[in-house]
Each structure stands twice: as C-alpha cells, then as structure tokens.
Structure 1
Amino acid sequence: MQGTQRILTIFGTRPEAIKLFPLVHALAGDSRFVSGVCVTAQHRGMLDQVLQISGVVPDHDLDLMQPDQTLDTLTANLLTGIGKVLDQEKPDWVVVQGDTATAMCGALAAYYRKIPVAHVEAGLRSGNIHHPWPEEVNRKIIGSFAALHCAPTETSARALIAENVDPATVHVTGNTVIDALQWITARIAADPVLASGLADLETRFAGRRIIGVTSHRRENFGEGMRAIAEAIRRIAARPDVAVIYPVHLNPNVRSVMQEQLAGLDNVALIEPLDYPHFARLIGLSYLMLTDSGGVQEEAPALGKPVLVMRETTERPEGVEAGTARLVGTDADRIVAETFRLLDDEAAYAAMARAHNPFGDGHSAQRIVDLLAARG
C-alpha cells in the first residue's frame, strides 16, 4: 500500500499481549499502516488466552517455549528466531513492550538491522539491576537505543531523560494496560459469561472480604516466597476474609504455596486465570496482594488498594499517588499492612479513592499518532 508504514509488533508473554492488543487493534484499523504481529510464545498457554479473547491473529508464531530453559538459551533462540522474521518482513518500525526477554531480543534484533524501535511502557526504573531481575537490565538495554520512547508517566519520562535519552524521542502516552482493562470490563459487562468461572467462589465466600493474590517474581523465590505463604496463612486465619490466589505454574511458587496453604477453608488456590477472569478477580477483591508489575497499574483503575510484596518497585507513581504501598516480603509487615486496610476504614478509603496515575484509556491512539508523525 503506497505511503503506508510497515509496523511489526513483537511480544511473547501474557502481560505483553494484554498491553499491546489495544495498540495492535488501533494499528490494524488505521490506513496509514500495514500492521504485522510476531509472537514468540515465551509463555504459550497464557499468551494464547489473550490472543483468543482479543482477536489478535499472529502473522508469525515462533513457539519458543521449552520447559526449564535457561535465560541464555531463550535469549539465543529469541534473537535468531526474531531475526529471521525481520529479514522476511523488512518492517519500517518494530514495536516492543516492557522488559521481557522477548522485548529485549526483539529490539536488539531490530537494532542489528538498523530498524527503528518504538518502546511501549518505556522508562520504568527500580534503580536496582537485580530487582526485578532480569527485567531491569532488559528495559535499560532497550532504552539505550530505541528511537521512540512511549513513557507511561512523567516519572518514567524523567528517568529516561536522566539517562541522557534525547528528550525529542520521549513522549508521555499513559499506559495501554488501562486501555485493555477498559476494553475487557466493557466486554464482561456486555457478556458476563466471559468471566462466569468464578461464580462458585463468589458463592462460597459470600459475606467475606476477598483478598486477591498474585506472586511469581524470581527474586522472591526461596525465603521470600515462603514468607509470603506464611503471611497469607496468617491473614486467612481471620473469619471475615477469604483469599483467592491463582497460583503461577512455576514450581518455585506452586510447591511452596501448596505446602503451606492447601486445604485451608477460606483459601482458594486456583489455576492461572485467563484475562477476563483475572479482571473479574480484581473487581471482586477488597484489596490485592501482589509482586506483579501490571497489578499495580490495573487494580487502582478499579479502585482497589495494592500492597506490593517487593523491596523495590519500578512503578513509584502508584506509591506516590497513594494507590499502592511497598510492604516487602517480611511476613509480619505483610500481615500488619493487610490488617490495617481491613480494620481502618479511613486508611482503606484513602488508597481506594486515590487517583490512578497510569492512564486514561487512550494510550494506544497516542502511540499510533506518534508513529504516524514519524512516517
């Protein structure tokens, strides 16, 4: 098509798919672009769930997931696999999101071919290269050469400029995760069957305040994960609460949680949820306990306080705005901060009503317009 730009969007994990499908939709509906999608399937099953619900059909599927593969094996396979796709497609721009191995390798493969890279959710920094690991280094690598930095907030934009990134390439767009959440909640409202799989738990835990939990960070494996499990067990001893915990498939998580929490009456250890059901879980929950990045952005959009079970966060905006609180992985502190929100209505209301700093639902269109301006 004459006068159009060829855009190749590359992703491989469920969180990337959630944050990029609004952009893929926007690009596909815009005559200024020929839009292609390459997935690496770094996460196979969880990725496919998002592709199905969002209606995204990849043009290339590298299917690279292998059990227990090392990061260097994964990195080598990603670089060579994506490189072959780039040589075939010859895009004008490559779009990557966030800080996964797929994002870093997709950007690096494009750089090797002098293809400009647009980095969605650019500029997140914890300041510690080991927390989160290896994501902090992945995103710093992308940030060192991307041609367009789509920063979700002013804080992330300032972090890039502090690293001597050209300010003309840095733009605050908001976070596309809010676009995605608004899209899926509207779909659920129109068709509740999409998220009806939690109905039995809703009935089982009627009259109790539900605490949603996610935990899977590599840096928490071992002692941190055991402390998180202990905290959940102590919280669940209260008769007025219930815990719903979609347990990550990684055995470093699953074995610990099964050992400490299986069989407790008001703890539901369930399989990982697809995107509609996860959005429903946030909506059902009184508060969220998490070491995830995305939940720190999503839960405040639905008015749910977030206690972050990490020592650092690359999303300080939530902490500064009051929507999130860092509680680390000390069991005593996790329990104390959870009980404070359960027992202090004013403390809860202050977090639940705080302004969400991460977006307004129009981030994808802003990114599309930025790409068009560079045509």
Structure 2
Amino acid sequence: MTPIIKRAAGSDQFKVTLAIAGAHLAEKFGSSAGEIVQENIAIDYAIATKPAGESKEQMIAEISLLLTEFTAVLRREKPDYVFLLGDRYETYAAAMAAFFFGIPIAHSGGGNKTAGGCIDDTVRHLITKLASLHFVTCEENAANIRRLGEENWRICNSGSPVVETLLTEKLYSKQELQEMLAINWKLPLILFTQHPISTAPEKAGSQIRESLSALAELGLPTVVTYPNADAGSDRIIQEYKAFDQSENLFFHKHLGRKLYLSVMKHCAVVVGNSSSGLLETPVFHVPAVNIGDRQKGRVRSTNVIDAPHDKEAIKAAVKKAIFDEAFIQQVKHCPNPFGNGETSKIILETLAEKRTCPALLTKTL
C-alpha cells in the first residue's frame, strides 16, 4: 500500500485517511505501526483488537469488533472511496462496513486463486463481490474476476504495489544487512515464513515442526519471521520456542517491510507458504520453495519449487533451489508476471476518472 498512499498524499486530487488494525498493532506479532510512521505516513485511526491467534471463535469476535469500529470511522469521514488491499478477514470487515454504508470500494489483489484449504480464497472473492473497482496484479486474475460476474469496465490490471516498491525503493546492501542482522554471507542464506492454514489450525504445530526440523538439519543460516495472526499461529510460535536454541535459526517477530525485502533480495532462497514467495521473488530472480497447499493454484513464475509438509522433501527442495545449476539458470531468467512498477499511478488515475461514474454502486451480473 505504501506507494499508493504516498502518491495520493502528494496529490491535490486526493485526501488520504488511514485506518489500521489487527497485527499492525499487536506486539505479539511485531507491531508494524511504528514502521508506517517511519515512512512519514500519518495514521488517522488505530483500531486495537485481539488477534485470533488460536481459535476461530476469536477470529469471529475480532471481525465483529472491527465491523463496529470501521462503521464509526466511515460515519465520521464519509469518504468517496474505501481502498482495500488483499484478503485478510480484517479487510473483509472493512468491506462489509463500506458496502452497507453505500461507499464505493476499490480493491487491490482480487482474482487470486488458491486451492489449499485457506479461507483467504473465499474472503477474497467476497470482497470482490462487494467492491466497485478491481485492481488486479496480472491478466489471469482479471479473467478470474470476470468469471465471478464482474463487468469488464470495473477491472484494471494495475500490477502489484509490492512490485512497484521492489523496483523503485533503495533497499539495504549485503554489508548493511550484515551489520543489522549479523548475517554471515559465507554461507547461503535462507529466508523463511510459514503461516497456519486457517481451515486446519490444529495442524499448524506439526506442519511447522517438519519445516523447522528440515531447516535445522540443513545447517544453513536462516532468518525466520513470525506467522500472521490467523487461528493456529500460537501453535507455530510455541514451536519456535522449542527451536530457539538452534544455532542456524534466527527468529524475528517483525523485520519490517524494507528489511524483509532487503533480505529477500540477497538471500539464496525463500522458503515457506507465504504469498511473498510467489509474488515478490521473481523481481529479484530469487528461488522459492513453496511448502504445502496454502498457495496451491496461485499464479507463479518459473522460480518456484513445491514441497509437501515433510522434512526430507523440504530439505531436497531447498538443496535443489540453492545448488542445482540448471534450476539456478532457470531462475535467472524467470519472468515477473505482476506489473512494471507503475501500479500507484495507474490506480490513482483510474480512481480519479471513475469517481463520478453513476454506475459505481449499481452492479449487474
């Protein structure tokens, strides 16, 4: 969201009001609110909730609270648009509030398709049906939104805002990362993130155990970041504590956007089940090992190796990503399917053009 917010804030056509919630404010998950402020972005509303962490009941309670809080924000601000990114359940709460208030929703990140048993897919499509304008990261996702019955004029292939950040922002060098994180560049570095599958939180502990065991046995330096706040995340964090004596695993609650992307740029491989392994790594021509089915069916480049939740399979996939010369050459030439770095410009021009469109809130099938 950063390039979109900054471009809008610097324009005389837009007034930006930013509301944040969920893990942005949760110390347990590293609290990224300070990072937003460091980017010179003003936070107008900080909505504190208790992230789901362990149970579906907590997730439902958080959605209910967020719906009430977002409604109060919208009543006060009366915006022309509500701009939302992604497929989090917190985002869905904001979408419901905006929809029933009759405020057009502009949604970035719709049309992604996964088949790994994650509720994100359904939530994403629900937001699509509530939204008036759809900013997609690639043409395949635009086609998916058309199949959901959305009119073509509502859909814009803007590319990914993250890709814009990767292509335009000056990231940290290897030397700077060595000083900040005490990284030993003599060995290949692994960047690891694994989230729970929201429909099967009870499996999160056993699944992360397979991954951490594989990484520990490989013996390569590994930067491990915390999971998202979905149900099952507590089980992952408990397993992190069981492995915190591993000499090659370095745990971080929240690296922050710039530091995380800098590590990605210079690492040997990204491992886990985060969408960043598919979306962002092609820009840097870095290989990714995608574990399990969480990202199954999502658009990807040719730099991705899939592996099940199995220690030996994960080890084999990581070794291939780092040491297989044929695969390394393939990764060097992998295409980036997710935009050319002009996402914020495309989005703001479209929002300005469509603002007075009388059909924004009148949807047909």
TM-score, with length taken from structure 2:
0.86
Partner of 1:366: helix, strand, or coil? helix
- 1:102 maps to which residue? 90
* Equivalent in the alignment of 2:14: 33
TM-aligned CA deviation for residue 326 of structure 1? 2.4
Tell me the residue number matched to 1:13.
none
What's the CA shift for 1:223?
2.2
The alignment yields a C-alpha RMSD, in angstroms, of: 2.4
Q: Which of the numbers 89, 92, 97 marks the counterpart of 2:80? A: 92
Q: Are 1:272 and 2:251 counterparts? A: no
Residue equivalent to 2:108:
120
Are 2:339 and 1:359 equivalent residues in the alignment?
yes
Find the partner of 1:137 among 122, 133, 140: 122
The one-letter amino acid of 1:252's match is: R
Check if 1:301 corresponds to 2:286: no
1:41 Cα deviation after fit: 4.1
Q: What is aligned with 1:292? A: 274
Match of 2:363 in 1: none
1:196-275 correspondence to structure 2 within 5 Å: 196-198=179-181, 200=182, 202=183, 205-218=184-197, 219=200, 221-236=204-219, 241-248=220-227, 250-259=233-242, 261-275=243-257
Shift of the 267–40 alpha-carbon distance from structure 1 to 2, 3 Å rule, reads: closer
Bigger shift: 249-258 or 153-162? Answer: 249-258
CA distances 1:280-317 after superposition (whole Å, capped 9, x unpaired): 21123111102111232222212211111121426632
Map Cα deviations across residues 70-115 of structure 1 (whole Å, 9 max, x no partner): 0111000110100011011111111101011221111110110111
Q: Percent identity?
A: 19
Amino acid in the other structure paired with 2:317 = E
Letter of the 2:212 counterpart: A
Distance in 2 (CA, whole Å) between partners of 1:269 and 1:312 is 22
Aligned length: 340
Q: In terms of mean alpha carbon deviation, does 77-86 or 137-146 score higher?
A: 137-146
Letter in 2 for 1:292: S
After superposition, the C-alpha distances for 1:211-258 in whole angstroms (9 at most, x for unaligned) are: 11111233551321222122212322xxxx322223448431122133
- Structure 1 gaps, min length 5: 1-19
Tell me the SS of whatever aligns to 1:209: coil
Structure 1 consecutive aligned stretches of length 4 or more whose deviation exceeds 6 Å? 192-195
Paired with 1:271 and 1:59, the residues of 2 have a C-alpha distance of: 25
Contact preservation (8 Å) 2:32, 2:256: no
Q: Compared with structure 1, are the counterparts of its residues 355 and 166 closer, same or farther at alpha carbon in structure 2 (3 Å cutoff)?
A: same
- 2:97 is matched by which residue type in structure 1? A
Residue among 158, 165, 181 paired with 1:173: 158
2:359 maps to none
Q: Which has the higher contact order (CA 8 A, sep 6+)?
A: 2
